Amino acid sequence: MSAVLHRPVPLGGPVLTKGTRALVVLAAIGVAAMIYRFAAGLGGATALNDGYPWGLWIAFDVVTGTALGCGGYAVALLVYVLNKGEFHPAVRPALLTGALGYSLAAVSILLDVGRPWLLHRVPLYVSHWNTSSALFEVALCVMTYVAVLWVEVSPSFLEAWKKGPAGLKKSLGDNFLPIVEKALPFVIALGLLLPTMHQSSLGTLMLLSGKKLHGLWSTPLLPLLFLISCLAMGYAVVIFESTLSSVAFKRPREGKMLAALGKVVVPFLWAWAGIRLVDVALRGKLAFFAKPDGYVLLFLVEIALIVVPAVMLASPEKRADAGNLFRAALLMILAGTLYRIDTFIVAYRPGAQFAYFPSLAEILATTGLVAIEILVYVYFVKRFPILTGAVPAHAAAASQVR
């Protein structure tokens, strides 16, 4: 019989399974597509053009991927700002997901810019900083937050190495774990500030598109809407990830904590939908609904994807239903993904002479990055103390990290 633990433990067991082998194939194809991008150049490998200077790699990998990586930010607000200690078991897996999501978003930026070898100038060339640029703020925040997230995750590695056999890893664990633990309060504070700036700046960035962005999406409230949506998506990802890991790794489900998270996210959903509807009305954009077209339909679908999970999680009984909670989390993730892709691509109209649909290389590279993220997540939770819960029988002997 497995023991139920309330501290993180490595799950153990083999990393390579039938499922992860399939992910390895997708990751290899994705890496080949990335190599092709650098060999053929942006013009040859992507469908980007003068009207659409960014596409799938920015709209999905960066704008959506970083929002999905905001679980650590969202849970840290509850645990460290609002002192809700009952959510602490969700901190480490959420931070790991955030570190992976932001790191792979950084890789996507490397793929998307024309001269990636000059990106180091962003943090280093201080005298050239354009502090009034929203794009500069996004770039600097992403770079800094990637480093901050890995520092926040590092106690998992250092604790495991400290308990391991003598050698370099144990020495690193012995020497650096006390330093990191002392620095964590300051690092956590920085980890709360950076995504607040970064996610709101993504909305600010699209304010610059002016009339090119459809009136149902273009609003001065874009920074606020992006911030609210990233919090809703962050809580949704924590619920989604915890439920899936319970099934995949045969861990006891953290039902009480997840139901509580379901309650936390509901006000964000109502605020997100309410602000959008009131904003459209106050800006006089209701005229669009008199002549409904594809954009109106997309807007209504987005609102429905926000409102439906809010209704699904309205009562304690509904939040205690694991299947209902998981389906609501999926809808929230879909709502945020659709809202961000619509804002950056679908509702962005640079002119009738321009069109964009991602090339095969763009799609394969994105698929590969997602596969890599899942593979690395599986490796880390099996080798390091990330997840809490029951230790599977086969994991007990494998919990010593080498």
19-35 mean pLDDT: 96
Predicted local distance difference test score (pLDDT) of residue 183: 93
* 373, 30 Cβ separation under 8 angstroms: no
**6 phi and psi angles, rounded to 5 deg:** -115, 10
Predicted local distance difference test score (pLDDT) of residue 12: 86
Q: In three state form, how does the secondary structure of 216-278 look? A: CCCCCCHHHHHHHHHHHHHHHHHHHHHHHHHHHCCCCCCHHHHHHHHHHHHHHHHHHHHHHHH
Distance CA 339, CA 273 (A): 11
Predicted local distance difference test score (pLDDT) of residue 388: 81
Q: Which helix (H) or strand (E) holds 328?
A: helix 322-341
123-151 mean pLDDT: 91
List the single range of 6-15, 258-267, 319-328, 329-338 with lowest mean pLDDT.
6-15
List the single range of 1-5, 142-146, 232-236, 354-358 with lowest mean pLDDT.
1-5
176-202 mean pLDDT: 91
Query: 371, exposed or middle or buried, with CB in 10 Å at 0-12, 13-18, 19+?
Result: buried
Nearest to 312 by CA among 265, 345, 348, 357: 265
227-253 mean pLDDT: 92
| Mean pLDDT across the chain | 91
Predicted local distance difference test score (pLDDT) of residue 25: 97
Predicted local distance difference test score (pLDDT) of residue 389: 65
109-121 mean pLDDT: 92
Q: Is the pLDDT of residue 267 over 80?
A: yes
Nearest to 234 by CA among 69, 101, 64: 69
Q: Is the dihedral of CA 192, 230, 61, 129 positive or negative?
A: negative
Residue with tokens 């609003």: 219
Q: Is the pLDDT of residue 35 over 90?
A: yes
Predicted local distance difference test score (pLDDT) of residue 9: 87
Q: Are strands 387-390 and 4-9 parallel, antiparallel or unpaired?
A: antiparallel
Predicted local distance difference test score (pLDDT) of residue 226: 96
Q: Is the pLDDT of residue 5 over 60?
A: no
Distance CA 197, CA 49 (A): 29
Predicted local distance difference test score (pLDDT) of residue 6: 65
41-86 pLDDT per residue, tens: 999 999 999 999 999 999 999 999 999 999 989 999 999 999 898 8
Distance CA 401, CA 385 (A): 10
Q: Is the pLDDT of residue 400 over 80?
A: no
Predicted local distance difference test score (pLDDT) of residue 153: 94
Predicted local distance difference test score (pLDDT) of residue 3: 45
95: which 2 tokens? Answer: 């931070």
